[in-house]
Structure 1
Amino acid sequence: MEDIKVQTSRVIDVNDSQVIEKQALDDRLGDAHLNILPTKKIIVCLAALSLGLFASFADQTSITIALPAIAKDLRAETTINWAGTAALLANCVCQVLFGRLADIFGRKNILLFSLGTQAVADIGCAVSRTGVEFYIFRAIAGIGCGGTQSLTMVMLSDICTLKQRGKYQGILGAQVGLANALGPFIMAAFVEHTTWRDFYYMMIPLVISVMVTIYFLIDGKKNASQLNNVLSRKEKFKKIDYLGMFFSTASLTLLLIPISGGGSSYPWNSPLIIGMFVSGGLSFFVFIYIEWKLAELPMIPLRIFASPSLSLILGSNFLYGMAYYGFTYYLPYYLQIVRGLDSIHASIILLPLVLTQSIASIIGGTLISYFGHYKNIILMGYGLWTVSCGLLYIFNTQTNWGVIVVILLVMGVGVGWTFQPTMVAAQSQAKKSDRAIVISARNVLRSFGGSVGISIASMIVSNSLLREIRRESKNEGSILDGYLDYLKDHIYSRVDTSKLNHAQQVVVREMYMKAIKNYFYICLPLIAVCFISTIFVVDRGLQCIDEEPEQKNKDKESDIDTSSNSSRQ
């Protein structure tokens, strides 16, 4: 009996030592990148990182305004929704990987690799001749953009304190808004005056120049040296969670493809759709088990979800990703197909949303740094966003442009006060050494939400429009059957209504309006849930969970000063 106890205690000791060693490796990897810089150097790094962030978001959002033109050029009118889905799917998958890979191989190296991947993808997009080719290169671009977006946030967390981060995160958020404004605008100019391909030709030298700027302005030698002291080059490749990478990629891909194609490309009860859902679900549970039990350095450690507040923050990121990306993807369809605007004028209407988001992000970040708390800002952001989503219900074929602008202004403030502030909130609910993992988890859930959001939006819009076409085909004399067949083959294109009379044009626009509005209906409950869940988040202030509150630190310092003075007396 005593032998059994001794053996049991030894097993426990071995397991405890392995856990301690694993945690120590996590901490050492995270701490190896920590390098708090003075303000002047932070600004230099921030300028370089902002360029990369601008390039990635401009590339990501510009396509929304050009989808009808690209679909027509590539003869992919019924499948062009895969351009957005493929990019966000790849973005989502790579976000799982980049947080931990940046811990292992260094932030700067992974960032430069991501930008290089984006440049290669832009070359491919520019020369694509078929829809399939374009979707493949958009997926590669999603990998590059996802890495850049993730590493930009991670690198900022390495060089400044969490209290400073609110202000600087707001500046990066402003870059996101600026890119979301200028990207579609520049793309629209190319679509109207030359070709959409020239946009991607323009992006290539821009991304390369950003790479050169980051290479020379950001010094990573000190961090590289510290990282090499933790892991040798051979050990770095051994520590990669290869099984986790495989099953996370498989699960996300197998789940998102049927969500996007179900009901339109394939029936929901088809063996292919059912098989993908089952395989994707099983792969997801295998991934969870690997991260929980097998991986030495898991891509996303499940322990971070032990915090209820962090789980609520990450969950809300998934939901607002669904709402935001789906909305920004289909708002241009409303403007171009239902309201008849060209690409440039549609981009102008988008400006109140994205520019307000940019300004609100700076203001929100500054207020968070000043007051030392984030919860009230996030609540106000979700509150305004919820109101604006409710106002989407009044959209119709003749909504006053002033009303549309006001709704987008309100939404812009709401988005600006949630996107970057939730990043700061998430980091405050985790250990300092876990900042890269938390940022990665937050980004992957937001991107996954965006992928699901666009997939669901595509499903709702396409199925709703097909239902309207079937209903209209029973109405004899309204619209010719030949034109209804044309609509079926051009669901995602800017359809030609020049051969229809005024009454028939109104019917076609109403059909598209009903289809798009059916998606708008789900935005309100998604953001309302985000608002409600944030109420239950515990605002710990601007320090990580392994840091003492600032007031306690001040009290300790004053106690030390008092004791030292009394000892002198």
Structure 2
Amino acid sequence: MQKSSSEDSTHKEKFTEVTKQEELAQKVADAHDNILSSKQIIIVFAAMATALFLSFVDQTSITVALPHIAKDLGAEKTISWAGTSSMISNTVFMVLFGRFSDIFSRKYTMIACMIILAFSDLACGLAQTPTQLYVFRGFCGIGNGGITSLTMVIVSDIVTLEQRGKFQGILGACVGLGNAIGPFIASGFIQHQTWRKMYFTLFAIIPLATLIIHFIVPYTKPVGNMKEKIKNVDYGGFLLSSIGIIFILIPVSGGGSSFEWNSALVIAMLTIGSISVVCFIIYEIKFARLPLIPIKLFYTNISLSLLLSQNLFFGICYYSAVYYYPYYFEVIRDYSITLSSCYLLALVLPQSTISIIGGQVISRSKHYWHVMLFGYSSWIVAMGLLNLWTVDVRKGVNVGTLVLNGLGVGCIFQPTLVAAQAHSFKRDRATIISTRNMLRSFGGAVGLAISSTVIANTFLKNLKLTGSQHFNKEQLDYLKTQLYSRVDLTQYSLEQSQYLKSIYMDSLRKIFYIWMGCIAFCFVTNLFIKDKGVKPLDG
């Protein structure tokens, strides 16, 4: 009887603690409800769309510029860290922004992220060494992570869930436009000026957008005084999640190239990272006053759990594709940076168009599953067509693959957010967005890390096995430093050029196989998601 009484007491304490967490979360979230009139919505939404557009211009402009930046800074073997460092910091801080904006203010957290991005871009333009560039790109990742999450959170505050499909679809179109224009901006500066001036220009533009947000976006006053707000911050959760993410992603990014997989450093970091993730989960369940990520989201609703897991694999494919499609066109097809940017339009323009259409379909039909099914179906066909990509495949195959890929992304990027919010409570609105974006960014960081490792290891292995048949020792030593650079093929004979292209292609094809598996997982799991309409669980 004593044992039973003790167990009842323990269960009661757990129930009370969970209730306190949920009550606090509800109280904090309610302070930000701010449904606006149609005219006000359009004005605020325009400001959010502008911020998101600039964020993705910053993220994707570097993709076509990487070979040129690598050559300028002498970073041909390590330039992939420019993308990886940004994604790592993006992921680390993404988990903080949802709850941070709950506790303090959506508006001023957003402004802080815009300022961080602006000055980080200035620092990137002034960078003199590869290490400086990677550090400053890391700070850009912090700003971009906040902007990406908070634009979606603010839009969720000012419109109902029934309207959200339409507005989030337009935000998805802004993502596509940013992805489209970013490479063109970069190519223009590289061909006529320098990649540094691209960052100086962003530094000049972003503060103007920040001023617009300051004057236009309404301020919603969070509950509690400053002492209570500081008390509500989940310091332990942020510390443990940061250690876990950083200590896992760094060795994954450099394993096999920067570090040996069996080195003490890699083993130690992976061990510390894994232990930190486990400790983070325990801390969020048992000790956090207001958890950064309510762990119950992953086991109380199967559909929500599947939606969140899809975003992890979505991120692996999406961010890797944004970086490595230009790699294919510039390094393997030997196209100019401008022509490579033109090919990317076949990806991003369908993405923008279908995102708007898909958002309208969701808002009008009040359902999202069929839009997501079409998206994953298009995407998986595109992944299959990647098997046809070779050094000299017909251009129509490249374009057709990119169009289908863009249609898939457009029907997934924002509809998964609407679906996730439909399977959650209003009090979890901000944390759902930050958790979903964090998982997508974590997937992107893992995808970039795996991709760079696969390319480096495959390229070096092929050179070691057969390179001596085509090049002398001096040429081989030079080529081993050109993993991510655009090699001047005019220095080599036709036979040597074809050989180089073939081993670059072999390296890239292995990444395609990883993407195929990830999207196959998303397609299959989507079949088990229940679509109960676009209303949150609490109405």
TM-score range (shorter-chain normalised) is over 0.9
Q: Which runs of 5+ in 1 are unaligned?
A: 548-569
Q: 1:73-92 alignment to 2 at 5 Å?
A: 73-92=72-91
The answer as to whether partners of 1:327 and 1:520 remain within 8 angstroms in 2 is: no
Question: 2-side partners of 1:60 and 1:14: how far apart?
Answer: 46
Deviations 1:113-141 (A, max 9, x none): 10010011011101000000000000000
**Who is 2:306 aligned against?**
312
Deviation at 1:520, TM superposition (A): 1.0
1:246 equivalent to 2:245? Answer no
> In structure 2, which of residues 489, 499, 502 is the aligned counterpart of residue 507 of structure 1?
499
- 1:491 corresponds, among 483, 487, 492, to 483
1:363 correspondence with 2:363: no
Provide the rounded CA distance (Å) in 2 between the counterparts of 1:14 and 1:213.
48
The Cα shift of 1:474 comes to 4.3
Shift of 1:10: 6.9
- Aligned pairs for 1:107-118 within 5 A: 107-118=106-117
Counterparts of residues 192-207 of structure 1 (less than 5 Å): 192-207=191-206
Shift of 1:342: 1.5
Query: What is the deviation of 1:19?
Result: 3.3
CA distance in 2, matches of 1:517, 1:16: 51
Change (3 A) 1:19 1:519: closer
Provide closer, same or farther for how the CA distance between residues 318 and 11 of structure 1 changes in structure 2, counting only shifts above 3 A.
closer
The aligned counterpart of 2:510 is 518
Higher mean alpha-carbon deviation, 382-391 vs 322-331, is at: 322-331
Which residue in 2 is equivalent to 1:461? 455
Task: Give the match for residue 371 of structure 2.
Answer: 377
Distance 1:7 1:323 in 2: 49
Preserved contact between residue 473 and residue 481 of structure 1 (Cα < 8 Å): no
Shift of residue 343, structure 1, vs aligned partner:
1.0
One of 411, 422, 425 as aligned partner of 2:405: 411
Is residue 534 of structure 2 the alignment partner of residue 542 of structure 1? yes
- What residue is the counterpart of 1:452 in the other structure? 446
Kindly state the Cα deviation for residue 158 of structure 1 after the two structures are TM-superposed: 0.4
1:473 deviates by 3.2
Q: Measured at CA, do residues 23 and 345 of structure 1 come closer, stay the same or move farther in structure 2, by a change above 3 Å?
A: same
Partner SS for 2:491: coil
Determine helix, strand or coil for the equivalent of 1:498. Answer: helix
Task: Answer yes or no: is the 8 Å Cα contact 1:472–1:479 preserved in 2.
Answer: no
CA contact (8 A) 2:97 2:149 kept: yes
- Correspondence for 1:259 among 231, 249, 252: 252
How many angstroms apart in 1 are the aligned matches of 2:8 and 2:131?
A: 59
Q: Choose the corresponding residue for 1:423, options 417, 420, 424.
A: 417
Q: Distance in 2 between matches of 1:267 and 1:487?
A: 20
8 A Cα contact 2:388 2:397, kept in partner: no
Q: Cα offset for 1:432?
A: 1.1
Does the alignment pair 1:151 with 2:150?
yes
My pick for the range that moved more, 164-173 or 299-308, is 299-308
1:473 aligns with 2:472: no
Contact kept in structure 1, 2:64 and 2:183, CA below 8 Å: yes
Give the C-alpha shift of residue 331 in structure 1: 1.1
TM-score by length of 2: 0.98
Percent sequence identity over aligned pairs: 44
Does structure 1 residue 237 correspond to structure 2 residue 236? no
> What secondary structure does 1:80 align onto?
coil
**Contact in 1 for aligned 2:373/2:526 (Cα 8 Å):** yes
Cα distance in 1 between the residues matched to 2:315 and 2:6? 50
CA contact (8 A) 1:122 1:200 kept: yes
Cα distance between partner residues in 2 of 1:5 and 1:232: 42
Aligned length: 538
**Do 1:256 and 1:455's aligned partners in 2 also have CA atoms closer than 8 Å?**
yes
Residues 33-54 of structure 1: CA deviation (Å, up to 9, x unaligned): 0111121111111100001001
Q: For residue 22 of structure 1, report the CA deviation from its aligned partner.
A: 2.3
Q: Does the 8 Å CA contact 1:339/1:397 hold for their aligned counterparts?
A: yes
Task: Determine the C-alpha separation between the residues in 1 that align with 2:15 and 2:512.
Answer: 51
Please give the alpha-carbon distance, in whole angstroms, between the structure 1 residues aligned to 2:411 and 2:365: 15
Find the aligned partners of 1:293 and 1:428 in 2 and give their Cα distance.
26
Question: Is 1:100–1:437's contact at 8 Å kept on the other side of the alignment?
Answer: yes
Alpha carbons 2:468, 2:476 under 8 Å: kept: no
Give the corresponding residue for 1:191: 190
Deviations 1:187-246 (A, max 9, x none): 1110111100001000012110110001111121xx21xx2xx31111111111111111
- CA RMSD of superposed structures (Å): 1.5
Deviations 1:325-352 (A, max 9, x none): 1122111111011111111111011001
Using the TM superposition, name which of 12-21 and 106-115 deviates more: 12-21
Residue identity opposite 1:39 in structure 2: S
For 1:258-303, what per-residue CA distance to the aligned partner results, in whole angstroms no more than 9, with x for missing partners? 1111111111111111111111101111111111111111100111
Hey, what's the Cα distance between the residues in 1 that align with 2:472 and 2:463? 11
Alignment map for 1:284-323 (pairs within 5 Å):
284-305=277-298, 306-323=300-317
**Contact residue 389 and residue 397 of structure 2 kept, 8 A:** no
Structure 1 residues 297-321: Cα deviation after superposition (integer angstroms, max 9, x where no partner):
1100111112100000010110011
What is the CA–CA distance in structure 1 between the aligned matches of 2:205 and 2:78, rounded to whole Å? 29
C-alpha separation in 1, matches of 2:4 and 2:506: 70
| Residue type of the alignment partner of 2:41 | I
Instruction: Please identify, of 150-159 and 516-525, the stretch whose mean Cα deviation from structure 2 is larger.
Output: 516-525
Higher Cα Rg: structure 1 or 2? Answer: 1
Equivalent residues of 2:350, 2:407 under 8 A apart:
yes
Residues 7 and 284 from structure 1, CA distance in 2 versus in 1: closer, same or farther, beyond 3 angstroms? closer
Offset from partner CA, 1:10-39 (integer Å, 9 cap, x none): 776665444323221110111110111121
> Which sections of structure 2, spanning at least 5 residues, go unmatched?
none
